Amino acid sequence: MTWGSSGDVGAPVAMRTSFNALSAMHTPVFNGRDVSAFAFRGVAKTRKAAAKRFKVTSGGKVLSKQAGKQHLNTKMSRKNKMRLGDKRVIEKADISNVQGCLPHVKLAK
């Protein structure tokens, strides 16, 4: 049984011509530059879960809620529970992680 040319739609996957061989002939050019590398690059999107968890101040500091106040609070003092209700400043070592989740926000480095 013959399938005809290797580019047939009904041919098995191994016999089809690859997309890269076809796209090499049609390289997009814009203002004299090859833009094929930029053609499929995605748009930087904000991670909505991170946007709800972090607050960025006008100075670029990142604040988040402190952990440890969800349950097992009966043994904590009132002062300790009040302290856990405050926001905390994110450490400089974690700023790069937050910047990756919030790409459109200017953060202090």
Confidence of residue 6 (pLDDT cuts 50, 70, 90): low
For residue 13, the model assigns a pLDDT of 57
Burial zone of 69 (CB within 10 Å; 0-12 exposed, 13-18 middle, 19+ buried): middle
> Over 80: is that where the pLDDT of 77 sits?
yes
Average pLDDT taken over every residue of the chain: 79
- Average pLDDT score over residue span 30-40: 61
Each residue's pLDDT tens digit, 39-70: 556 788 999 999 999 999 999 999 999 999 99
Backbone dihedral region for residue 50 (phi beyond 0: left; psi -120 to 50: alpha; all else: beta) = alpha
For residue 44, the model assigns a pLDDT of 86
Q: What is the pTM of this model?
A: 0.57
CA distance 62 to 55: 6
Ranges of H-type helices in the chain:
19-23, 48-53, 78-84, 95-101
